Amino acid sequence: MEERLILASASPRRRELLARLGLPFTVVEASVIEDEDPELDPRLMVARNAARKADWVAERHPAAWVLGADTTVCIDGHALNKPADLAEARNMLRRLSGRTHTVHTGLALRRADRGVAWDASERCDVTFQVLDEATIDRYLSRVNVLDKAGAYGIQDHGELLIVGHTGEQATIMGLPLTLTKHLLTKAGLLN
């Protein structure tokens, strides 16, 4: 019998990235309240949120492998989660302008019927160019930023904002593929 994989995320970016690995999977959005305390250590926040999502779905699908993920942007020791509105998004982009920040993504792989609970995380640094108001306006007019931590997506007109980054671009998008592949190989889903 083929092992079943469930992505515990409604993120279209995570679906697209996971599909690159060539494994069949289904999507079940976890009905959880994410911890978005901007004062909490961002590594801990994304780890907790990824685990909450994976645990919620695994409890309802115990015979499936369940992958949860969460991403946030961190600058000056504070997390910049999804903005509540365009005014907050604008303020986030101003704060990131001309600076380097860190993107943290947490992963959780669960298999409830086997008692498997594996957690991992990855980080990347992203450097923004200095943004003037016209550039911010142009970016906000082209991209739906309200579903993106830090009010931006590297894959969505990132050339307007970003001058460079360390690490894997997929981590910044919300699903570190090298780390995901490692976990899925450990689970026997990939060779």
Rg of the chain over Cα atoms, rounded to whole angstroms, equals: 17
Residue pair 47/28 in contact (Cβ under 8 Å)? The answer is: no
In degrees, to the nearest 5, what angle opens at C-alpha 29 toward C-alphas 15 and 52? 105
Per-residue tokens: 128: 């923004």
* CB-CB contact of 175 with 14 (8 Å): yes
Q: Helices H, strands E: what count in the chain?
A: 6, 7
Q: Burial of 69 by CB count in 10 Å (0-12 exposed, 13-18 middle, 19+ buried)?
A: buried
**Residues annotated as part of the active site:** 70
Closest Cα to residue 98, out of 48, 135, 58?
135
Indicate the burial class of 107 (C-beta count within 10 angstroms; 0-12, 13-18, 19 or more): buried
* H or E element at residue 172: helix 169-173
